[in-house]
């Protein structure tokens, strides 16, 4: 059986990242179940925007409030 990669609707997520506010703690990369984030140059970066399912785990764990999402909107 082929591995299925679950995807949200294309280009509708409300996910936003303020790189200026990011402190590089990498918690978002650890808690995101869809591997939406990766660390690049000691800052979080959105590498798979359309994989975001708006669960809010990243927002709840971001100590610098650099991430926003409106769960269930997109």
Query: DSSP string of 3-50?
Result: PP---PPTT----EE-TTT-----HHHHH-TT--EEEETTEEEES-GG
63 falls within a domain: yes
Q: What pLDDT score does 10 carry?
A: 76
Structure token digits, residue 45:
């970066």
- Note whether residue 73 is domain-resident: no
Confidence (pLDDT) at 49 = 93
At 22 the pLDDT is: 98
CATH number of the domain to which 55 belongs: 3.30.70.20
The predicted pLDDT at position 11 comes to: 76
pLDDT given for residue 6 in this prediction: 64
Domain count along the chain:
1
- Residue 2 falls inside a structural domain: no
Residue 74 belongs to a domain: no
Asked, for residue 62, whether it belongs to a domain, the answer is: yes
pLDDT tens over the chain, length 74 residues: 456 666 666 777 899 999 999 999 999 999 999 999 999 999 999 999 999 989 999 999 999 999 999 876 65
Flag whether 47 is in a domain: yes
Give the domain extent around 25: 16-68
């Amino acid at each position: 059986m082929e591995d299925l990669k679950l995807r949200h609707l294309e280009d509708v997520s409300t996910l936003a990242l303020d790189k200026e506010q990011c402190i590089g703690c990498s918690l978002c990369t650890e808690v995101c179940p869809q591997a939406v984030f990766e660390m690049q140059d000691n800052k979080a970066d959105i590498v798979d925007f359309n994989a975001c399912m708006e669960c809010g785990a990243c927002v709840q764990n971001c100590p610098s409030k650099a991430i926003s999402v409106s769960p269930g909107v997109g």
